[in-house]
Amino acid sequence: MFLRRGRAIAPLMLLLASPLRAADDVKVTTANVEDQRVSDERFGGLTIELQLTGAGAADVKAIRVKVKSAKDDAGTNLSKPDKEEKPRDFEEFSKDRHPGPEIRLSNPRRDASSIEVTGDVELFIPARDPSAKQKIDRFLSQLDKPLSNAALKSAKVEITPLSAKEYKARQASGRPTKEQIAEEGKKHGASEKEIQEAIALMDALTSLGGEEPSENSILLETKDPDGKLISVELAHADGSDLHSQGRSSNGGRELKTVKIDLAEKPPADAALLVTLRTSKSLVTVPLTLKEVVLP
Amino acid sequence: MSTPIRRSSLLLLIIFTAAASASAQSKKPAAKTSAAGPHGAPPQIQVSVDTLMDRRTTRDFPRSELSISFKLEGADANAVQSARARVTKADDDTGKSLLVAAADSKQGSESWQEAHEGGAPTPKVDLASPSRKAKTLATVEGVLEAYMPSRDPASTIQVEKITAKKDKPPIASPALAAHHIRLQVLSKAALEKERADAKAKAQAAQKKSKKGAQDGLEQMGEAMADALTSMLERIFLTAGENDLILKVNDPDKKIFSLGLAAPDGSAIHSYGTMDLDSYRVVRMFEPIPPNASLLVRLKTAKSFGQVPFSLVNLKLP
């Protein structure tokens, strides 16, 4: 009886153990440290580049770092999170990515020689949850209407493939007006001259970055209020990769327009591969960096 | 905060970065100011520190360095069209010398910094990173080199209505000819034709070399034709519709810079010049007005000035 129960439990344990072991295998260490010190204290800061090692690191596709405490050896607090600040988005991760994920902190004292950081690193491991990856077939068949998909809906993610006309219209409506720039500038105490420079820069960036979509472009609008959307890729109907030549996006989590340029006109039956953060796909490992020597 | 507003604040942040100028050091006047140069009165310019940036990193590349941006003030500061600074001595208060050996200095660190719309240029130098234990820069000494074309009328040649000269024969100007300078204004279409011609020549050379055994001279000619084609292709791909494309022949290297001016003499600002072999592209956000002039700034002895500077006890960030 005991043996039989043991046999019944064994496969279940294996299933559970596999991703957990992968997460246990991930170690978070320091790769590089950069202390950028500027006489104008509005700028600069300390950046710590992290490195994920261990057999499980290859399965990690995105990460998010939450710093709980950070101080230098003189006792200076280097992390002063804004209470109203929203949690940061997950960053895409691969072992080949350089530089690796980074933590940004305030400058330590000039005479400090080391720092300590504690916190959590959330690892997104899609292999732990099949529903983290969604394939949406023939997504170009209905433009300018949000895609219908239960997993997207439950994650409160909305993706709308756009026609060129609608894309241009939404881009134009999302651009800040001169009045908005002026208002924001005044809030920051900018002079009239600085505001005019910002407006001129905005015009210049618009003329530079306002590349028109072509017939080879795939245009999307995404809404992702909870930051659950990890990535959006393109595929042929059979699931094979549909290689893009470039991608540009505008906006943030609440509303973003995306232009993906292909080498040729996208096939009508192209599919969208959407990767979503789900609770099952997340593992949290502690972050403990001690006596990190300052350069 | 709405998305557009957030984006605009990012833009402002960029602007503020460029405009950053409020360091404690910037208020300190230079201990030494302008000294008599070889040509005429010395320029009235005071050199102080605008911004210090000590970038300390564990990476091998780019390595740690201290960048100093200088602020130019004084009666002649606004007459400086370009400037660069050469540091001859720089020590932190632990006694460490921050001078970088010429072989290790960053490419472009000696380049001239152009004046911007808001005023005089802010030339930058890159030094070695000071000791972490250092609190101040004990000494920074050097020389500021300033290009001031307004001090020598002969240093500027004005070519009126420059856009009307597009795709015409080289500009007929005795002043340019006196300096052996030949300028031709090209449209993107003309540049494309030059590219097509160069490509055809390269292909013909290749065909010819396939027929018979290639000697060294033919191989060299073929390689040069290929290089010319690819260079013209680069210019063609990067030149914008509003840019001014010039084919320049300046055997004595007399040209210091090229600029554009409105009929009232005010500067028409570009966002940089790209030099590729004998081609120069003046980058423009907006179309060049039809009545705009090209200002060819020449290197003349009178148009340059030197200002030695010596700064002490600069607080490190």
**Domain chopping of chain A, boundaries:** 2-128+281-293, 130-171+212-276
Q: CA–CA distance from A46 to each of A34, A37, B91, B158, B314 (Å)?
A: 6, 8, 25, 50, 22
CB of B10 within 8 Å of any CB in chain A? no
Average of pLDDT values for B229-240?
71
Angle at B110 between CA B106 and CA B113, to 5 degrees: 120
Q: How confident is the model at residue B202 (pLDDT cuts 50, 70, 90)?
A: confident
The model's pTM is 0.73
Q: How far apart are CA A283 and CA A267, in angstroms?
A: 37
Q: How far apart are CA B123 and CA B307, in angstroms?
A: 13
Q: Which of these, A176, A180, A179, A185, lies nearest to A203 by C-alpha position?
A: A176
| B153-158 CB contacts, 8 Å cutoff, 24+ apart | B154/B298, B154/B300, B154/B302, B155/B256, B155/B297, B155/B298, B155/B299, B155/B300, B155/B302, B155/B303, B156/B295, B156/B296, B156/B297, B156/B298, B157/B295, B157/B296, B157/B298, B158/B261, B158/B293, B158/B294, B158/B295, B158/B296
Q: Which of A44, A177, A194 sits opposite B15 (nearest CB)?
A: A194
Q: Which of these, A65, A53, A57, A24, lies nearest to A125 by C-alpha position?
A: A57
Beta bridge partner(s), residue A74: none
Q: Which of A36, A198, A205 sits opposite B53 (nearest CB)?
A: A36
Q: Which residues lie below 8 Å from residue A244, measured CB to CB, with a gap of 6+? A: A218, A234, A260, A261, A262
Task: Look up tokens 């020689």; give the residue.
Answer: A113
Q: Got the DSSP string for A95-135? A: TT-SS--EEEEPPPPTT--EEEEEEEEEEE-GGG-GGGEEE
Mean pLDDT of chain A: 86
Q: Give the total residue count for chain B.
A: 317
The two three-digit tokens of residue B172, written as one number: 């007929």
B216-226 tens-digit pLDDT: 666 666 677 67
Beta bridge partner(s), residue B220: none
Q: Taking CB atoms and an 8 Å cutoff, what residues of chain A touch B239?
A: none
**Higher per-residue confidence, B242 vs A198:** B242
Domain ranges (residues) in chain B: 10-150+303-315, 153-298
The two three-digit tokens of residue A133, written as one number: 């990856």
Q: Which of these, A121, A148, A146, lies nearest to A136 by C-alpha position?
A: A148
How remote is the C-alpha of B18 from its chain's centroid?
16
**Higher per-residue confidence, B228 vs B69:** B69
- pLDDT at res. B3: 39
- Which of A223-237, B27-41, B61-75, B139-153 shows the lowest per-residue confidence on average (mean pLDDT)? B27-41
The percent of residues in chain B predicted with pLDDT above 90, rounded, is 55
Q: Is A110 left (phi over 0), alpha (psi -120 to 50) or beta?
A: alpha
Residues A260, A104 contacting (CB under 8 angstroms): no
Residues A107, A76 contacting (CB under 8 angstroms): no
A95-132 tens-digit pLDDT: 888 888 999 999 999 999 999 999 999 999 999 999 99
- pLDDT at res. B193: 84
Average of pLDDT values for A136-165?
94
**Count of beta carbons in the 10 Å neighbourhood of residue B120:** 22
- pLDDT at res. A24: 58
User: Which A residues, 161 through 190, put their C-beta within 8 Å of a C-beta on chain B?
Assistant: 174-177, 180-181, 183-185, 188, 190
CB of B4 within 8 Å of any CB in chain A? yes
The two three-digit tokens of residue A257, written as one number: 């327009």
Please report the number of interchain residue pairs, chain A to chain B, with beta-carbon separation below 8 angstroms: 124
A267-291 tens-digit pLDDT: 999 999 999 999 999 999 999 999 9
- pLDDT at res. B108: 58
| CATH fold of the domain at A2-128+281-293 | Immunoglobulin-like (2.60.40)
Buried residues in A238-270 as b, exposed as e (16+ CB within 10 A): eeeebebeeeeebbbbebbbbbbbbeeebeeeb
B295 exposure class (CB count in 10 Å sphere: 0-12, 13-18, 19+): buried
Beta bridge partner(s), residue B141: B89, B310
Beta bridge partner(s), residue B268: B260
Which of A34, A46, A106, A110 should we substitute to test contact with B (largest number of B Cβ atoms within 10 Å)? A110
